[in-house]
Chains A and B, each alone.
Chain A
Amino acid sequence: MFRRCIRRLAPAGAIALVGCLMLAVGAEAKAKPKILTVCKHGCRYTTIQGAVNASGKHATINVKPGRYVEGVIVQGHRHDGLRIIGMTRNPAKVLIEGKNAKGPGGAAQNGIEGDNVNGMVMENMKAEHFAANGFYVNHCTGYLMKNLVGAFEHGYGLFAFRCIGGRMTQSVGYGNGDSAFYIGGTPFQKHPVWSTVDHDTGYENVLGYSGTNSKYVTVRNSSFYNNGAGVVPNTLTSEPDQPADTGVIEDNLIFWNNFDYYRPGSPVRTVSGGVGTDAANYPIGAGVILFGTTNWTVRNNSIFGNFLWGVASFSDPTNTTGKALNTGNHIINNKMGAAFNDTNGFDLFNDGSGKGTCFENNGASVTMDVEGSASASDIYPTCPSTNGTGTTTGNTDQFKKLAAVVLANPPTTQESFWHVHTHPARPGVKPFEG
């Protein structure tokens, strides 16, 4: 480029020469984002944070196997496109350790945190024992979290908040105090950019997937088992942009989510304060819970061996904004318990609130939780439907059942609502109930 420039502009003299030089330098700078290497011994950078501080836009930080006791913070758009890559296919070999790691104000909070960084990439690493989350991005457009492990974090394994688009893939979360995977506080978008959670595994967490006010999200081709509940998009006042609106849960294996973390001595601590008001607690023993969601579709999943419900859909009457309304959800074409000789307590639960939630083609022997005077055809209409009370309270008898479950005191007595049985064996997996 420099030579061509000189030939064209040589007659213009020295000024042109300077211009060419500047152009060349500029082009060079643009063309080569930094590549930095981190390792415990013999590298210029011995901490990931050190390399982050020296990096710029679209830089790549290669992290060699080792144990890094630190919480990494990446802040601002000057790091857009940053890639932090573990130099191994086994994420456990690049371990970011939260125990004894220090950050601003005290304990390090996240393994890697990206604040206002667009298109950040994190691959091939494991983070554990952090006060908040393993891998965390917020206020961003796009991110990739690939082949990561988030284990025994106080909050979440992989967490994205107020981001537009992004992907969590080929990753694992276990032992987390809330969920393995979380996408929440999604801003409303005129032309939505979807986020994807795919080919992931979440087990032995309070929840497998959770997303408060989660939108434009597809959760697919993943496994959620041995959690308190498997997949739980939800609407809460605590976070911006209610409700959880427009999402798809498809082609997943969702089974054995009977982890009673309320039991004394549980290896995973329960979420403090439960949800909503009146000391309501998360239900345990459920495959999918659509909690106050609008237009979520649950389709083509295999859902079995969950002792309370396979798929439950209900509103939150304690949400005074009225936005946690069970509306327009479709539960269709799922393979439920009987197909696997491993039944759910009931395959379906619906509180009859909101409008338009419907159920279709979930197997001939699908079981529906119908309480008292409730009518199955009213509560579990086929699609499309206009059924529902239109309010957040739903059918009185259905609501009574729901209240009895979430208000069970102590919460471990929720187990009295379970239909417990022995599961047929599955290779490589053992049931875990706490």
Chain B
Amino acid sequence: MKHKGLTTLIACVAVGAVGVPTALGTTTKKPVVKKVQVQDNFYSPTKVAIKKGQQVNWIWSKNNFNTHTVTLIKGPKGVSKKKFSSFQASAGVHFKLTFTKAGTYHFECQLHPLEMNMTVTVK
């Protein structure tokens, strides 16, 4: 138990040591986040272009009445559709993804597939 505590302490100090300079000004770059509104019944914008490592945050409008999803229909090889698909929601939530693989990602709302579809292009 003691050993575990010691290990944890060392780990904390190490993390702290890395973190200190950050606090003193050599800031770690925050990832770029592009926002997409999820509304009744559309995404806005419907085309997003980002670079590898950047993020997209889908934000459900508080004024929605209908339930929507952000569901990956087609993406680059090896990208998990499950991991790149949101829960179902109507209002007051967000869903953020980090894109590490280049390619084109097609998303649609499972409930409103004809009206709600969009692409994220990652370079």
Contact = CB atoms under 8 A, between A and B. Distances in A.
Interface of A: 73, 103-107, 109, 113, 115, 131-133, 136, 138, 154-155, 159, 161, 177-178, 185, 237-240, 271-273
Contacts of A273: 40
Contacts of A73: 87
Interface in B64-89: 64-67, 86-89
A107 B64 CA distance: 13
20 contacts: A105-B89, A105-B93, A106-B89, A106-B93, A107-B91, A109-B67, A109-B87, A109-B89, A109-B90, A109-B93, A115-B88, A131-B92, A132-B89, A132-B90, A132-B91, A136-B67, A154-B64, A185-B111, A238-B112, A240-B113
Contacts of B63: 272
B65 A177 contact: yes
Nearest to B109: A238
B93 A103 contact: yes
A120 to B, nearest CB: 15
A109 B65 contact: no
Nearest to B114: A237
Contacts of B111: 138, 161, 185, 239
Given A132-B89, A237-B114, A238-B114, A272 B67 contact: no
A155 B41 contact: no
Contacts, number: 80
Q: How large is the interface on B (under 10, 10 to 19, 20 to 34, 35 or more residues)?
A: 20 to 34
B66 A155 contact: yes
A243 B113 CA distance: 15
Contacts of A161: 67, 111
Contacts of B112: 238-239
A155 B115 contact: no
Interface of B: 40-41, 60, 63-67, 86-95, 111-115
Contacts of A271: 65
Contacts of A154: 64-65, 90-91
B81 to A, nearest CB: 14
Contacts of B67: 109, 132-133, 136, 155, 159, 161
A105 B86 contact: yes
A272 B65 contact: yes
Given A104-B89, A105-B94, 10 more contacts: A104-B86, A106-B94, A109-B89, A132-B67, A132-B91, A133-B67, A138-B88, A159-B67, A240-B114, A272-B64
Contacts of A178: 65-66
Nearest to A159: B67
A136 B69 CA distance: 14
Nearest to A162: B111
Contacts of B60: 105-106
* Interchain residue pairs A-B with the least CB separation, the first 10: A132-B90, A106-B93, A105-B93, A107-B92, A104-B87, A131-B91, A238-B41, A109-B89, A238-B112, A155-B65
Contacts of A138: 88, 111
Nearest to A102: B93
A109 B115 contact: no
Nearest to A272: B63
Contacts of A238: 41, 66, 112, 114-115
B65 A107 contact: no
A181 B81 CA distance: 32
Q: Which of B40, B64, B86, B90 has the most CB of A within 10 A?
A: B90
B58 to A, nearest CB: 9
A237 B109 CA distance: 13
A421 B4 CA distance: 79
Contact of B88 (A109, A185, A272): A109
Q: Which of B67, B92, B94, B113 has the most CB of A within 10 A?
A: B67
